[in-house]
Chain A
Amino acid sequence: GIQVEQSPPDLILQEGANSTLRCNFSDSVNNLQWFHQNPWGQLINLFYIPSGTKQNGRLSATTVATERYSLLYISSSQTTDSGVYFCAVSSLSGANSKLTFGKGITLSVRP
């Protein structure tokens, strides 16, 4: 099946810093989503971005489907950005739209 690799596994930032989180995948996809898992365990949907670029406030994401990667940018980070960020993809060759998740990136933003 499709493989999803996220990097770096852990990231520590000072409040106000910018960061880039990366997601590589091994096959063509028809869906890519970025999630933030909050301290209560809920998956917060950040972006649905199978291709192209989107922005939402301090967050933006870019997916280059032909090169099989996606980037999540966090600017002017805040302590509330802390948590685990997951990339999840659905393979173009898959029978349905099940998502395969990466292992996640644990972000800690220090005041």
Chain B
Amino acid sequence: EPEVTQTPSHQVTQMGQEVILRCVPISNHLYFYWYRQILGQKVEFLVSFYNNEISEKSEIFDDQFSVERPDGSNFTLKIRSTKLEDSAMYFCASTRGRGNTEAFFGQGTRLTVV
């Protein structure tokens, strides 16, 4: 069964460093998403991406965040200068279309900023 894969599963970084979280969405999916879950809290939407551009972003997704689809398979989330409060689980998801369509999630990347 096709699946969304994320790497790394766990990353520890120093405050102020840049991190790139990687995702490989399901190959025939067209819409890609990043979500964040701070420990003990609910999962929150960060950004959606379609046709090589951001289609929607939340207020969490400020200038320190960026997304990119550098090639035909990868979808990345970059955090330019990490803060302690960026420590969270980050999930990538993809959907085939928009609307009545199931979202498939990766296993997550646990980011720890020290």
Contacts and interface: CB of A to CB of B under 8 A. Distances in A.
Interface of A: 30-31, 33, 35, 41-43, 45, 48, 50, 86, 88, 90, 95-104
Contact of A97 (B31, B35, B37, B42): B31
B75 interface: no
B44 interface: yes
B100 A50 contact: yes
Contacts of B102: 31, 33, 45, 48
Contacts of B45: 98-100
Interface centre among B35, B55, B56, B105 (most CB of A within 10 A): B105
Contact of B105 (A45, A90, A96, A98): A45
Nearest to B103: A99
Interface residues on B, range: 20 to 34
Contacts of B104: 45
25 contacts: A31-B99, A31-B100, A31-B101, A31-B102, A31-B103, A41-B37, A41-B110, A43-B43, A48-B102, A50-B100, A86-B42, A90-B99, A90-B103, A96-B50, A96-B56, A97-B31, A97-B48, A97-B97, A97-B98, A97-B103, A98-B56, A99-B35, A101-B43, A103-B42, A104-B42
